[in-house]
Every structure is written in structure tokens, then in C-alpha cells.
Amino acid sequence: MIPMELLSMLASTVLGGILSIMAQKSQAEAEKQKMFMQRAEFAAQQVDKAREVTDAFTKHTRRWIALIAVVAILVIPKLAPFIDPNMPIYVGYTEMQGGFMNWLFGPEEAIEWKMAKGFVITPLDTHIVSAIVGLYFGAGFTK
């Protein structure tokens, strides 16, 4: 027969070992969370540094790209009819091709080039302007 003191010592040793392992596990988890927080803080600092643009060249680069795109895609084609009223302007549209069964098999897309005269606003114009406006509003919202 095993004495009660020996059983008590054995049980307390096992229980003490289990509690020690649980404490080490929770301490390791706390350390892991602390490192995650440090990493997140470091990442946030890097993002903040990237957002703080102090270089004048970098600030103006986006503005110049947007200005050149607007002039080349929107302004010059709009001024062409005023320079030469007989100058044809070719506009490309994506049109759906096909017949009655398009609802079942899906339409085929084809680019149709059509001649237009005068002042023409194309879908490309509206897409470019909305993309540029979205770029500036998006940059403004993140500040």
C-alpha cells in the first residue's frame, strides 16, 4: 500500500508540472501577441512614412501625368474640329455583334470604328476623367 503522503506528493508534482506548462504556454502566447503588436506598429510607421511625401518632384509627378493625360486624350481631340472643321475624327466603340440567340450564347464583342465630325465626347473621355477624379478623391480620403 502506497502512503497517502506519497500519493499527495505525486499528484501535486503532476499538477504543478501541468500548471507550469500552461503558464509557459500562456506566457509564450502573450509574447507572441506583443511581437505582433510591435510588427503592426512598425508597419504602420512605414505606411505613415510612405504617405508623408516631402520630395517636390514626387508630389508634382502625379499632377503632371494627370495633366498630360487630360491634354492628350481630352483637349487635343476636342480642339481638332476648331483647327480644321473638315478633319474626320474616328471614334472606337465596343459594340455587341450577333443575332437573336445572344441571350443564350452571349454576344461577341467587336470594336467598330466610326467617323464623327465636330465636337465628340467618347466613352473613353468619360472613363479617363472619372479615373483621374477617382485618383485624387482616393488620395484625399486616405489622408
Distance CA 101, CA 48 (A): 55
Task: Please answer whether residues 118 and 81 qualify as being in contact, where contact means their C-beta atoms are separated by less than 8 angstroms.
Answer: yes
DSSP state of 65: H
Looking at every residue in the chain, the average pLDDT score rounds to: 75
Neighbouring CB atoms inside 10 A of 88's CB total 10
Q: Is pLDDT above 90 for 29?
A: yes
Burial class (CB in 10 A: 0-12, 13-18, 19+), 6: exposed
Q: Which of 65-69, 119-123, 139-143 has the highest mean pLDDT?
A: 65-69
pLDDT per residue as tens digits for the range 53-111: 666 676 678 778 878 877 877 777 778 778 877 777 766 666 666 666 665 666 666 66
Nearest-5° Cα angle at 71, 66 to 74: 105
- For residues 71 and 132, the answer to whether their CB atoms sit within 8 Å is no
